Structure 1
Amino acid sequence: MMHDRRSFLALAAATAASPAIPAAIAPDPLKDRIVVNALGGLGDPNIDGEQDDPFTPRVLAEAHASGLTAVNCTLGYVSGPEDPFEKSVRDVAETDALLRRHSRDLLKVWTAADIRRAQAERKIGIVYGFQNGAMMGKDASRVDIFADLGVRVFQLTYNPANQLGGGSMAPGNPGLTEFGREVVARLNAKRVMVDLSHSGQQTCLEAARASKAPISINHTGCRAVTDLPRNKTDEELRLVASRGGFVGIYFMPFLDPHGYAHASDVAAHIDHAVEICGEDHVGIGTDGTVSQIDDLKKYSSVLAAEIAKRRAAGISASGEGPDTYPFVVDLRGPEQFRKLARLLGERGYKPRQIDKILGQNFLRFATDVWGA
């Protein structure tokens, strides 16, 4: 793959920030490991506005350098004035075109075998996922349309309530609706992951019980560690794990009660999730990219405007604010997965446990739901 000068400088800067150990003898904690980000993305946060092609040379170079094997990327409607169904169909078609354009570096994930294939071919697997079920309208058969188009992860709600159930910020903690139950059954039949991230507690519990297949909470924190609505209670975590599911811990401000999360907070939430769920059911869903932010001061002004926009739209959550970053300050950029692996090792996690958290647990869950 051809790298431009900007990509080279970005990688050089990331290398310079690493410990001064000769490259020939420095151990790579990600060597031969599968790394799956259960919710994230590929894009350049240094570029303002929408991009026709987010997979720039820099983005691809940093994704490869990060050791990432596969990532669940959000497509389709989340909020806004566009028609949810049309927006979602269009996003899938446009992403298909982008993956064809970048087939040397990226591949579309349909089954767990495609994640293994991505590792073998040194590509990045792209999992198509939704973060709001609004595109269902009143027709559960639309699940079939999106499943056949390659959507593999279906999050029932965003923060507000929708026709499927209650989000984490929905007043009154509403549960799964009858239509939501119909959609869950259809998702099970089409072997699509049911994701309860962003859902309210009652919707999460009811959906986990209604589903005939294991379900996931692909990006969350632990309410027992940080009491914020976007984090999950022990009851939710335990139920999901007991039914064979998966829980991904995010790198988000909700890990700290004041919104200023650090790597130690990520580790603390992983520790708690492992204690509640067991080591076979916990992974990572960072809810971020791997590309480094060059100018945090400039980014802060962009973020403040984005938070104001989210609040105006009624989709923001308690714990996010104009002065809190939607990432962990000391666990970002192309080295984030290596830093986490080292941190977990320092906390006493064995290599096989780190393997599970970085990707093997998601791969096991994906095999159960999608097939090998």
Structure 2
Amino acid sequence: MTVKQYDGYRSFQYLTPGKHYRSYPLPQSDRYRNTYEIKLSETEERIFDTIQKYYPIVSLRDHGFIVPKNPDDIIPYCRQLHTEFDYEGLARSGIDVIFENFMDGISIISSLNGLKWNDVIMTLGIRFCDIAKQDTVYLAKTFKDIQEAKITNRVAILPSLEAASILENEVDRVDVLYGLGVRCMGITYNAANTLGSGLTEKFDGGLTKFGRKVVERMNVLGMVIDISHCGDQTSLDIIEASKTPVMITHAGARKVWDSPRMKPDEVLLACAERGGIIGVCAAPNTTLSSKNPNDHTIESVMEHLEYLIDLVGIDHVGLGPDTFFGDHVALQHAFDDMLSLHESHGNQDYETPSFVEGLENPTEAMSNMIKWMIKKNYKIQEIEKIVGGNALRILQYILS
């Protein structure tokens, strides 16, 4: 596995824990344990090494965020600025470019309801400060910046936001976010906002007048529009209104797993027909499969990938695992009510998995997805498109 340059830096090591901020116990060595090893033959290993060495690998959604070891610490941990970022884990991931939202949806510094302007700006500022103190990851603002990742053996972070709720009714805030480096933004999260309906709303009124202003401004500035958490009609309206391709950075197919969090064929096809891309998600309780409803593994996740390839074509799919370090399910439980997570996952009668086998964190997720495709005899040219080529095509168009 390719390992990016890493000098041992830990989050906020320029500060003193206990004096400048409160530290919480974090998971240690198990953050990097690959619990699901996909064994490759010598020939397959050479293919894997070739892909990692020569082809850009893009995660449409992943996180360096570390969940505290004790579930009871999650809320107080997220109420402070100093949540920790795993530079070593990302260095081990082999990923070149990551759409990273810095967990803006759970930034609850001043409000337990989250998604507030001041909280998100503070979260971005403190994370950017921490990033400036190390050399493993860097902030990418242009397509040229993104291209530097493979060349310099670092990880390019494309600053993103989960939802545009923080705009309230101020369209000029889009410009402010762009000026701060944000290059991708979701329109809604699970609930409705001033732009449109989220995917848990019973009635989807579509993209609002203000939402159309925001789409137009994002197009003008050169910011990627993400509809992963939008309601179906809102998604269709955004795709139609946008002059540039729209991304579904982390989702799956509703025909494979019937839940609001997955996208119906109509939305998937519309996204692809306008040049967009769908990234396959691997967060717990999302991309399950009706074939194995109680067993969330890499197999069920990749069932979504293969369905999407058959539906929209290989030029319009990518990978957006949406993983981080530590107990993902514990964090879901901590923020369930605030973010309507259970509603977004649907009401099927299934046993909640404690993790996704083979796709627990960024260190193992992308590598295992690539290995899975190699074992399934995907051609190297096909893998190249899925792991980065398709995403880079759109990024070159929007960010250049």
Q: TM-score range by the shorter chain?
A: 0.7 to 0.9
Partner residue in 2 for 1:296: none
Question: Cα offset for 1:75?
Answer: 3.7
Unaligned stretches of 5+ residues in structure 2 = 1-5, 10-25, 107-111
Question: Cα offset for 1:150?
Answer: 0.7
Q: 8 Å contact 1:254–1:320 — kept in the other structure?
A: no
Q: Does residue 346 of structure 1 match 2:375?
A: yes
Question: Structure 2 CA distance, aligned partners of 1:336 and 1:246?
Answer: 19
Question: Structure 2 CA distance, aligned partners of 1:12 and 1:170?
Answer: 37
Q: Does residue 101 of structure 1 match 2:133?
A: yes
TM-score by length of structure 2 reads 0.80
Question: Structure 2 CA distance, aligned partners of 1:331 and 1:355?
Answer: 20
Question: Structure 2 CA distance, aligned partners of 1:67 and 1:206?
Answer: 36
> What secondary structure sits across from 2:119 in the alignment?
helix
Partner residue in 1 for 2:67: 45
1:150-161 paired onto structure 2 within 5 Å: 150-161=181-192
Q: 8 Å contact 2:190–2:339 — kept in the other structure?
A: no
Unaligned stretches of 5+ residues in structure 1 = 294-298
Partner residue in 2 for 1:78: 105
Q: 8 Å contact 1:248–1:285 — kept in the other structure?
A: yes
Question: Cα offset for 1:33?
Answer: 2.5
Question: Structure 1 CA distance, aligned partners of 2:263 and 2:322?
Answer: 16
Larger deviation, residues 149-158 vs 92-101: 92-101
Question: Structure 2 CA distance, aligned partners of 1:239 and 1:30?
Answer: 32
1:262 to 297, 309, 324: 297
Q: Does residue 68 of structure 1 match 2:95?
A: yes
CA separation of 1:273 and 1:368: change in aligned 2, threshold 3 A: same
CA separation of 1:11 and 1:77: change in aligned 2, threshold 3 A: closer
> What secondary structure sits across from 1:218 in the alignment?
strand
Partner residue in 1 for 2:310: 275
Question: Structure 2 CA distance, aligned partners of 1:108 and 1:308?
Answer: 29
2:58 to 7, 30, 36: 36
Partner residue in 1 for 2:356: 328
Letter in 2 for 1:311: D
Partner residue in 1 for 2:122: 90
Question: Structure 2 CA distance, aligned partners of 1:21 and 1:210?
Answer: 48
Q: 8 Å contact 1:76–1:89 — kept in the other structure?
A: no
TM-score by length of structure 1 reads 0.85
> What secondary structure sits across from 2:381 in the alignment?
helix
Q: 8 Å contact 1:238–1:276 — kept in the other structure?
A: yes
Question: Structure 1 CA distance, aligned partners of 2:237 and 2:309?
Answer: 23
Q: 8 Å contact 2:161–2:186 — kept in the other structure?
A: yes
1:188-267 paired onto structure 2 within 5 Å: 188-252=219-283, 253-256=285-288, 257=290, 258=293, 260-267=295-302
Question: Cα offset for 1:46?
Answer: 5.2
CA separation of 1:21 and 1:270: change in aligned 2, threshold 3 A: closer
Partner residue in 2 for 1:174: 205
Q: Does residue 364 of structure 1 match 2:393?
A: yes
Letter in 2 for 1:100: A
> What secondary structure sits across from 2:99 in the alignment?
strand
Identity of aligned residues (%): 26
Question: Structure 1 CA distance, aligned partners of 2:337 and 2:92?
Answer: 35
Question: Cα offset for 1:213?
Answer: 0.9
CA separation of 1:173 and 1:34: change in aligned 2, threshold 3 A: same
Write the deviation string for residues 154-176 of structure 1: whole angstroms up to 9, x where unpaired. Answer: 10000011110011101112211
CA separation of 1:365 and 1:175: change in aligned 2, threshold 3 A: same
Question: Structure 2 CA distance, aligned partners of 1:288 and 1:277?
Answer: 25
